[in-house]
Structure 1
Amino acid sequence: MNHSFFSSPSHQQQTPGISRFSIRAAASNDLAQLADILAMSFHSREGFVEWIYPVLRLGIYEDLKNRLRSKAEHYICLVGELVSRDEGTQNYRSRRTQCIAGTVEMALRSRFPWQIPSSDYPYLSNLAVHPDYRRQGVAQQLLSNCEDTAKEWGFSEIYLHVLENNHGARQLYYQAGYRLQQVDWNWTCWLFGQPRRLFLRKQISFS
């Protein structure tokens, strides 16, 4: 991973108003906050899940820790950090003890591992925003920074999955320029009534 890329101006975008979000690479000391955000975003705490929620969170923590430690060349985990403006001044300061608003990961996947040349493509996963900071632009900034990174890697397309019944996420991705590539269906959708996964694609502009 090219850490110098994350200090470039494109990774210090701002949201107008009293506060802004700064996008940077995740660090090991972010793990606890990131595990909290991911757990609350992807797991309900209702019913039986409430009892196993700590185990789910621990699993997320350990999996993310291993990915961050892997130092894979084509892997990034970004965080959107709330930066507040001191009242009466134009100086911004980072609230690092409680400021992570969202996160996203991106890595290369392969359609056909046996194919030569490789059919790798950039794939987004685990886009999550803390409930307190939703609808404030951090998700869009995280997506934009992933697209910049994909271009740096030399790709002109980017992909992700979203559940068919996740209407809020589908709207976010549609507004960001993602379009349906295919519908993934398997027997569990029919047998258990689970939502289908939609495979979305975005063409990245180099202009």
Structure 2
Amino acid sequence: MNARRFAVHSSTSSAEEVGLVGDGKCAEGQFGYLVNEYGWKVRRLVENADEMRKAAQVQAEAFHVPLALFNDLFFDFFQAEVLSGLVYKLRNSPPNRYACLVAEPTTNASDSQKQVVGIVDVTVLRDKSVLQCLPAAEVEEYLYVSGIAVLKSFRRQKIATLLLKACDVLSVLWGIEYLALRAYEDDFGARKLYTNAGYRVVSGDPQWMTTWIGRKRRVLMIKRSNLHTFNQAT
């Protein structure tokens, strides 16, 4: 598939049907800006130390559980663990099987001044327990969305919505028909966000995982990408 023929979602220009938003300049293996709306734009993470640290900080701040004692110390450990995992995935995953997407303001800042305000991981997977929940029996893989996070001071500004849109664009560029993610059953805010983005609940964790292990129950949500309509149009 020629990615440059895909019309990228952008509220700033309806004429940019080239697969890239902005000036189109991107490093090898990158797609440039995937979406550009609401004053934010989303692109693939560049593999350099400073940017990876910024991305890890966003996820660490979103998912760290505060502790009464030594909270700062444990946060530093947690952030280091998040960074280590991110570096490993970036360096050991094929470029069309994993991507870390980051959101930043649309202002034209220099590379050193770019602020990462949101992040999401997308991975091509073949988990049978998820595949059996997809309506198309012939589907062999799907795009799994995880680790979506937005800096606290930038929430409620459509950044998470834009990150999910970028996942949709990437699914078409990679030729993946279905996307999937998991949310806690009682996290109604997150579930509303995903529902508004087109996801629907298809299954949940088995009861023994919540009663025996004591883990919060999660639901699996899926959506069909625009790949089928894009293929018909081309």
Which category of TM-score, normalised to the shorter sequence, fits these structures?
A: 0.7 to 0.9
AA of the residue aligned to 1:43: H
* TM-score normalised by the chain length of structure 1: 0.81
* Same amino acid, percent of matched pairs: 25
> Cα deviation per residue 1:161-204 (whole Å; 9 max; x = unaligned)?
11112222111101111100101125341135432011000122
Q: 1:121 to 1:49 in 2, by over 3 A?
A: farther
1:21 maps onto 2:72 in alignment: no
Q: 1:97, CA displacement in angstroms?
A: 2.9
**Which residue among 175, 185, 205 is the counterpart of 1:184?**
205
AA of the residue aligned to 2:102: V
- Does the 8 Å CA contact 2:100/2:119 hold for their aligned counterparts? yes
* TM-score normalised by the chain length of structure 2: 0.72
CA distance in 2, matches of 1:197, 1:67: 24
**Which residue among 85, 91, 95 is the counterpart of 1:63?**
85
CA distance in 2, matches of 1:126, 1:133: 17
> What corresponds to 1:88 in structure 2?
none
AA of the residue aligned to 1:75: Y
5 Å matches for 1:72-83? 72=94, 73-83=96-106
5 Å matches for 1:1-207? 3=28, 6-7=31-32, 11-15=34-38, 20-27=39-46, 28=48, 29-48=50-69, 50=71, 51-72=73-94, 73-84=96-107, 92-93=108-109, 96-97=112-113, 99-112=115-128, 119-185=140-206, 187-191=208-212, 193-205=214-226, 206=229
- Structure 1 gap segments, 5+ residues each: 85-91
Question: Secondary structure in 1 aligned to 2:163?
Answer: helix
Q: 1:119 to 1:168 in 2, by over 3 A?
A: same
AA of the residue aligned to 1:53: F
Question: Secondary structure in 1 aligned to 2:37?
Answer: coil
Question: Secondary structure in 1 aligned to 2:74?
Answer: helix
Q: 1:3 to 1:185 in 2, by over 3 A?
A: farther
- Does the 8 Å CA contact 1:35/1:60 hold for their aligned counterparts? yes
Question: Secondary structure in 2 aligned to 1:81?
Answer: strand
Q: CA RMSD in A?
A: 2.5
Q: Which of 187-196 and 71-80 deviates more?
A: 187-196
- Structure 2 gap segments, 5+ residues each: 1-26, 130-137
Question: Secondary structure in 1 aligned to 2:222?
Answer: strand
After the TM superposition, which parts of structure 1 deviate over 6 Å for at least 4 consecutive aligned residues?
none
Q: Which of 20-29 and 195-204 deviates more?
A: 20-29
